[in-house]
């Protein structure tokens, strides 16, 4: 539950916008733990920095994805994408290295 800072009405289901006056709900106006969890999930977003980190160190992306896939779907999707790209790059360079070494 939250209280809208603009219109002052109680908000039963906390989202990004107040259902009454359509102003942005501030995190400080939330009054219970379940609403805080719901509010954080609404602000889940793709993360470019996480994607780049996971390209460089793919194991971080795989671990992040499997630990957070149910709570932070978009961020964990970025981590998995970065990990897959990083794995493909590593396999490519490894195969090039082995071809040069063998021939």
- What is the rounded (10 degree) CA torsion for 9, 10, 14, 16? 10
Residue 18 corresponds to which tokens in the numbers above?
A: 């107040």
Q: What is the pLDDT of residues 7-25, one digit of tens each?
A: 777 766 655 677 778 777 6
Rg of the chain over Cα atoms, rounded to whole angstroms, equals 21
Q: What are phi and psi of 43, to 5 degrees?
A: -95, 10
The CA distance from 87 to 49, in Å, is 17
Mean predicted confidence (pLDDT) in 24-42: 59
Task: Look up the pTM and report it.
Answer: 0.58
The CA distance from 37 to 50, in Å, is 21
């Amino acid at each position: 539950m939250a209280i809208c800072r603009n219109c002052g009405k109680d908000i039963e289901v906390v989202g990004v916008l107040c259902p009454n006056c359509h102003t942005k709900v501030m995190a400080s106006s939330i009054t219970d733990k379940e609403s805080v969890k719901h509010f954080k999930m609404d602000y889940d977003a793709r993360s470019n920095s996480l994607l780049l980190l996971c390209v460089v160190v793919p194991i971080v992306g795989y671990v992040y994805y499997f630990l957070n896939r149910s709570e932070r779907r978009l961020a964990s999707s970025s981590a998995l994408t970065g990990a897959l790209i990083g794995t493909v790059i590593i396999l490519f360079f490894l195969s090039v290295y082995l071809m040069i070494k063998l021939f």
